[in-house]
Amino acid sequence: MISKSIFREYDIRGIFEKELNEISVKLIGYYLGQKIKGDKVVSIGYDARSHSPILRDYLTSGLNAAGCKVLDMGMVATPVNYYSNYIDFDGITTDASIMITGSHNPSEYNGFKITVNKSPFFSADIYALGDEIIANQDLVIENNITKTDIDVKTPYVNFMVKQFEHLKNFPQKIIIDGGNGVADTVITDIFDALAFDYEGLYLEPDGTFPNHHPDPSVEENLVDIKQALEANGDIAFAYDGDADRIAVLTHKYNIKGDQMALLYTMKMEKPTVIGEVKCSQVMYDELERRGAKAIMYKTGHSNLKVKMKETNADLACEVSGHIFFKHRYFGYDDAIYATLRMLELVQDGIDLDAELDALPQVFSTEELKVETTEEEKFLIIDKVKELLKNPSSDFPKILNIIDVDGVRINFEKGWGLVRASNTTPILVTRFESTDEDLAKEYEIKVNDLIAEAKRLVHSA
């Protein structure tokens, strides 16, 4: 029985063999091929997980059954996979690409990030694909792993070296942590071509992630790179499992994605910038102060790419380190490109620490997670919205509520957020205030509200 839960808001994700197995993945390939009208060219890449090539073969069989031509780029970073949509291979261009990756999830997970006609295949399209597959799960698809091997890494490396040749012999010592993901399928080739002085940690792709979990948004995964930076570096970068997400570290700061957006836009003329609902109010206010246009939107790489295209935005960001450049690039999240753009700022004389020191001081929590279930998480959010219509007398004064993605409650001196994760059975919360005690109060009061919402959902 194929689980409906693997079909998520912006990708397909599940546990290898249990949920992503020969039957389900062949059907995903077949019905995706049908949806993109068959007789199309689809390029496939995969991450370092041991089961990724197995899923590649299942997917290929399904796509071939639908009449598609399959191009195999092998093990690549997700941004390299995206790049395949913008070049040709001996006169052949791709109509779609699929990245097989579990990103930063535990090693037993895997999934598919799908691009069709240079746009994300997500949300209603993924849900409809899931419904069709579940309705036809008895269909038997024969093995057919006919495919054409392609090289995307070389043109990607060449593009980066050409775009950033002015960084050659960059004068500072760089530390990079690949987290045993796929960043180093290309990154050291770029660094070597640009004659960078760098030290690499855990660059060997290994889908068991033997050194630390490949999620640079979690502080405990940055222990080793911080030590290396302190001992022997000037600036450091860490990557998630598929290298579409970045952490930037100086001796003083772990620079979050919304702070990165403020830095990157210093070299843009009145840009349009999209941030997710977890971004600091400081980012939105500072962008507006500089004459930029700031838009708050939903979390999720697919959501932000689509909104960028709709608004012709120059940049988009997530706090977790997804950075999307349309300015001088293609509009997708690429941690390797983001690395080079940050080094460019440093070379241009931007003092990263000084710029962050100059921002208004706020007290922000990390992303705080509340465990729940896939079935209940959105029900709880709906119940929270109901409770906010008539909050208790001791609840902080509400200025307004933004419900573009979950609930962002704006208070007099800060805000609190509750949203349902689209990838895991959790609620994500975050709190910010100009007053540290108030930030804690917001956290306590909103958590009380969540607890009441959970109680009401359970009793319904």
Enumerate the active-site residues: 13, 103, 322
**Contact predicate 302/316, CB 8 Å:** no
CA 365 to chain centre: 20
Cα atoms in the Cβ-side hemisphere of radius 13 Å centred on 47:
34
d(CA 322, CA 113): 14
Radius of gyration of the chain (CA): 22
Q: C-alpha angle with apex 348: 254 to 172, nearest 5 degrees?
A: 60
Q: Which helix (H) or strand (E) holds 58?
A: helix 52-65
DSSP string, 347-381: HTT--HHHHHHTSPP-EE---EEEE--TTTHHHHH
Half-sphere exposure of 2 (CA within 13 A, CB side): 25
List Cβ neighbours of 310 (8 Å cut-off, separation of 6 or more).
Answer: none
CB 317 within 8 A of CB 263: no
CA distances from 328 to 268, 269, 291, 434 (A): 10, 13, 20, 35
**Of 308, 307, 338, 306, nearest to 320 (Cα)?**
338
For β-strands 426-433 and 363-364, DSSP reports them as: antiparallel
In order of 52, 257, 340, the CA distances from 240 in angstroms are: 16, 14, 16
